[in-house]
Amino acid sequence: MKLVPALVLAALSTACVHREAGPASASGAESTGGGKAVAAPLTIELQPGITPAKPLLGLKRGVNLGNGFDAPSIGAWGVTPSEAHFALAKKAGLDHVRLPVRFNAHALKDAPYTIDAEFFAKIDWAIDAALSRDLYLVLDLHHYEELMTEPAAHEARAIAIWKQVAERYKDRPDKLLFELLNEPCKELNPERLNALHAKLIATVRESNPTRMLIVDGYFWAAANYLESLVVPAADPNIALSFHMYQPILFTHQGAAWMDPEFQSSGIVFPGPPNAPASRSTAAESTDWTRSWLDSYERNPASTNPSSVDAVRREFDIATRVAAKTGRSVYMGEFGAIDFAEPVSRENYLRLVRREAEHRGIAWTLWDDGGRMQGMDVHEGTWIEVVARALLNDQPGGPAPAVTLADPTPSSTAAPTSPAAPVGSAPALDTAAAAE
């Protein structure tokens, strides 16, 4: 996801090109000097008087298994989902996993748009891997890019995909949730999106009358668009979702999948910094990024765009929508790239995570196994700075040891065909802390 500061949302809605994720690598963009800033550890003071949103079943804390089944083909982006992913999620005391799946890359192009049986078996395996560990699983249709650019041409196919998925999993426990469409954007504007959601919901409801569904707002699930979501009033089992990546120039600095104006580096959280950012040439010549960087370098904390308040403004929208609609609001993704200076990254992840909890919003870390990695399945452990942010409320505490005794990811990878029996999870290190 990617979004731009609220002020320039409208102006940039066509200019902000969100490309696909891919193997993460350094951007190598040309840039000016600077980039040596370091932030101080952030002490978080939560605001009193906030009414929490309605809980989303028992979901509170989770992780995405990104760049696996949502890649163009499994393994193409360096992630092959494995038992170790689920074991590490459980080990950290999480209660759910969000599973992004590019079903559209594994379905026939023409009617009846049949989903490939072998691929489906892998999704069965993933669902079992979560449910057998008593984790909720959010099954998410991810990276259906053609639907974003040609919504009318792909509508029937999207409906047929959900019909098959819904029928296949109709007898699964309520711990399986369906998220209809990740990060709607481009031509799938709010009006078209609401119309499409209505059809997808009706389709899913034929076989799953009460399963919890999640719908994302427009513009890569920007909080600003939560309010334009319209869902059937009589259906209580629909939650509204947003993704949290603001301030985007901090969270996505240098991300290879972003446009050149996102390729500055040395941006800390919170600002102002003790050294200027290293600005990419494109950031310097693009109005909104130059002006953002100027304010970031000059403004005090109270008006700085890289600030606690900037984060809270996003959450305030979510809290307002939760109160107005009486629905659960879900934060299906948040994250910060590992090019960010580590103290800043920890500050940001902890702040977002704690704000969400304070407001009764279930959170799900975006883990892409690359530059936004949380779990390291090869080492059988969580990345230290991420674990600290997610599991310690205050900065400076010891890194929680979230480690598998025997990771052996290669022997526990998703089966080829047919689905392998579950239960082959690696043994866990019983000494590791969960909370």
DSSP state of 223: G
Comparison of 390 and 432: residue with beta carbon closer to ligand BGC: 390
Single out the residue of 343, 376, 166, 177 nearest to residue 270, CA to CA.
Answer: 343
CB 20 to ligand BGC: min, Å: 6
Gap between the terminal Cα atoms of the chain:
29
Comparison of 367 and 376: residue with beta carbon closer to ligand BGC: 367
Q: Other C-beta atoms within 10 Å of 17: how many?
A: 11
CB 354 to ligand BGC: min, Å: 21
CB 18 to ligand BGC: min, Å: 8
Contact 80, 68 (CB under 8 A): yes
Cα–Cα dist 238/326, whole Å: 11
CB 98 to ligand BGC: min, Å: 10
In this chain, which residue has its C-beta nearest to ligand BGC? 21
Sign (positive or negative) of CA dihedral 218, 169, 81, 93: positive
Two structure tokens written together for 186: 């481009």
CB 44 to ligand BGC: min, Å: 23
CB 182 to ligand BGC: min, Å: 6
CB 164 to ligand BGC: min, Å: 22
User: Distance of alpha carbon 218 from its chain centroid, rounded?
Assistant: 15
Beta strands in 260-370 (DSSP E): 329-334, 362-365
Comparison of 128 and 368: residue with beta carbon closer to ligand BGC: 368
Question: In sequence order, what are the residues at sequence separation of 6 or more whose Cβ sits closer than 8 angstroms to the Cβ of residue 327?
Answer: 53, 54, 231, 238, 239, 240, 321
Residues written for the chain: 435
Two structure tokens written together for 65: 């298994």
Comparison of 77 and 113: residue with beta carbon closer to ligand BGC: 77
Comparison of 292 and 403: residue with beta carbon closer to ligand BGC: 292
Angstrom distances, CA of residue 160 to CA of 96, 115, 167, 216, 323: 27, 9, 11, 19, 34
Q: Which residues pair with 98 in a beta bridge?
A: 64, 138
Comparison of 217 and 426: residue with beta carbon closer to ligand BGC: 217
Single out the residue of 154, 56, 91 nearest to residue 377, CA to CA.
Answer: 91
Residue ranges binding ligand BGC (CB under 6 A): 1-2, 20-21, 142, 182-183, 257, 333, 366, 368
CB 36 to ligand BGC: min, Å: 25
Phi, psi of 2 (to 5 degrees): -160, 135
Comparison of 142 and 154: residue with beta carbon closer to ligand BGC: 142
Comparison of 20 and 206: residue with beta carbon closer to ligand BGC: 20
Single out the residue of 174, 102, 175 nearest to residue 134, CA to CA.
Answer: 175
